[in-house]
Amino acid sequence: MKKYIIIFGMAMILIIIALDGCIEEETGSIIKVSEGHFNSIQSAIDAASNNDKILVYPGIYNETIIINKSISLITVDKNSTTIQYNGNETGITVLEINADDCIVDGFVILGNNESTKLYPFGSLSSIGIKVQSNNNIITNNTIQDIYYGINLDNSNNTIVSNNNILNNDVGLYIVRSMNNKILSNNITKNSIFGVYIYSILSQSDKNIFKYNQISQNNIGLRIKGSLENKFEKNIVQNNNDTGFLFCCGSRNNIVFNNNIINNSLNADDHYKNQWHYNKIGNYWGDYKSKYPNSIDENNDGFWDTPYIIYTINGDTKDLFPLVKPIKIL
């Protein structure tokens, strides 16, 4: 009798622990894309289940990929694992994510520089990574030589971090997407826009940009019809046309604590967005040439004369322009 009581008691303890969340859930299997295992990334994805981790070994993978399960797709060596499209079709997507809770980490994503950059702003425009789902992480990738580098389309709560996005037509295109975090990316040498946030018929609001280097594009950031995005601690410099361009109903966006340097036009705000926050403005590379007589009389780190933003109504200002550039992590 005592034996049964002890067994019953142990069973009850295990049930209580399980209900309390102390027993970990299954984390999935590890699947390898390498010699002796799967020979293509898509075949490994097709064989995977939710929560599996796919490890991709070095090589050049000439394929287009669709992720339709909640998996992690990770390279063993991020410097030598390439997914490249070599065909002649237009309107292709090299890597498409249609499932929530995915990770894509460490790939070089290449388009065909000729055929994938022919059709601007339409269904025939090609894309490096397209995300049409939520709660994903896109990190440590290099995306280049395609029309749209990364496209968040109906994607919320996704993190895009530590990517090199270069030599595309549009580096990062955000449409119908909210509450995403764009962190520590190098977005450079894109021929039209480094970043394009588009929201006319649907929302692309409340996205956070922080610690990004946005340089040597034609226009650094174009924000069209979008609301309440926040830009903090970014470097926006050496863009050929404009650093920040707010147009077409984009309101209540916040830009503060950034270094905005040596763009042909540092900022163009068609509406009244906010260029300071909690009494902290931005560092403007052309400040002293515009206001040579301004001083920091009380030595608080802010110039005494506000910086006037170029705008159609002429009254948008950074009231707390920084004397010194900020340090970006």
Q: How many CB atoms lie within 10 A of CB 161?
A: 18
**Which are the contacts of 292, defined by CB distance < 8 A and separation ≥ 6?**
none
Give a yes or no: residue 137 inside a domain.
yes
Give a yes or no: residue 307 inside a domain.
no
Give a yes or no: residue 4 inside a domain.
no
Checking if the pLDDT of 114 tops 70, the result is: no
Give a yes or no: residue 56 inside a domain.
yes
Mean pLDDT of 20-39: 74
**Which are the contacts of 159, defined by CB distance < 8 A and separation ≥ 6?**
136, 137, 138, 139, 180, 181, 183
Between 310 and 104, residue with greater pLDDT: 104
> 199 falls in which pLDDT band (50, 70, 90)?
confident
Q: Find out whether 167 and 134 touch, Cβ atoms under 8 Å.
A: no
Residue 121 pLDDT: 60
Checking if the pLDDT of 94 tops 90, the result is: yes
Where do we find the tokens 């019809």?
A: 225
Number of domains in the chain: 1
Residue 122 pLDDT: 63
Under DSSP, the state recorded for 187 is: E
Tokens for 297, please give them. Answer: 């009389």
> How far apart are alpha carbons 132 and 110 in whole angstroms?
20
| Beta-carbon-side half-sphere exposure of residue 56 (alpha carbons within 13 Å) | 26
Q: Which amino acid is at 241?
A: D
Mean pLDDT of 149-178: 97
Q: Find out whether 198 and 204 touch, Cβ atoms under 8 Å.
A: yes
Average pLDDT value for the chain: 89
Residue 117 pLDDT: 67
Between 113 and 24, residue with greater pLDDT: 113
Residue 11 pLDDT: 47
> 78 falls in which pLDDT band (50, 70, 90)?
confident
Residue 118 pLDDT: 62
Give a yes or no: residue 98 inside a domain.
yes
Residue 6 pLDDT: 40
Give a yes or no: residue 145 inside a domain.
yes
Residue of 101, 102, 105 lying closest to 81 (CA atoms):
105
Following DSSP, what letter does each residue of 227-289 receive, concatenated?
A: BS-EEES-EEE--SSEEEEEETT-BS-EEES-EEES-SEEEEESS--B--BTTB--EETTHHH
Q: Give the residue numbers spanning the domain of 96.
A: 29-276
> 20 falls in which pLDDT band (50, 70, 90)?
very low
List pLDDT tens digits, range 204-244: 999 999 999 999 999 999 999 999 999 999 999 999 999 99
Q: Find out whether 149 and 129 touch, Cβ atoms under 8 Å.
A: yes
The CATH number of whichever domain residue 72 belongs to comes to 2.160.20.10
According to DSSP, the residues that pair with 151 across neighbouring strands are 130, 173
Give a yes or no: residue 1 inside a domain.
no
Residue 9 pLDDT: 45
Give a yes or no: residue 298 inside a domain.
no
Out of 3-17, 151-165, 266-280, which region has the weakest mean confidence (pLDDT)? 3-17
Calculate the alpha carbon distances from 299 to 123, 259, 304 in Å.
Answer: 54, 20, 10
